[in-house]
Amino acid sequence: MAASSSSSSNELPESWQVFINFRGMELRNNFVSHLERALTEAGINYYIDNKEMRSEDLKVLFKRIQQSQIALAIFSSMYTESNWCLDELVEIMEQVKKGQLKIIPIFFNVTPEEVKDEGGHFRYMMYRESRKKGSDLQKWENALESVPSKMGLTLKECNG
């Protein structure tokens, strides 16, 4: 059944075809905005964090992950600077292990090798964030280790 365009913006569906995990500061107004348009035109029911009211607890994102069928994890150079991106990724990978969710990694201006490289800049930012916030570094590392082994897409930004 097609979603009604007349439904209230406060009424969100009980399930999603796609959950989009990404670093908003870096990608919201470029790659992700184009992705949203393409998903909408294709009639795909997707979830992105700006669909929530600003007063919602951020843990609602974990519920949205659990309600989804597919997660697009969009890795970019600033991804590991966000505890929320990494915490969402941990939840995504837990759902993948349970067989409740499929993940499609998208490597945007980073390679799978950079994501996996424990000594590289991508991981360095994660280590720095975990020291600042006292976060659970081991869970983040485990989630990042398993993602590059999944079939995904590697994209380079096109200027011109």
88 a catalytic residue: yes
Three-state SS at 30: coil
C-beta separation of 139 from 90 below 8 A: yes
Taking the CA atoms of residue 23, residue 24, residue 25 and residue 28 in that order, the dihedral angle to the nearest 10 degrees is: 120
CA max distance for the chain: 50
DSSP helix/strand/coil, 81: helix
Q: Which residues contact 36 (CB under 8 A, 6 or more apart)?
A: 20, 46, 48
Residue 32 to residue 39: CA distance in whole angstroms = 10
Phi-psi region for residue 134, left (φ > 0), alpha (ψ -120 to 50) or beta?
left
Task: State the catalytic residue, choosing from 11, 26, 41, 88.
Answer: 88
What are the catalytic residues?
88
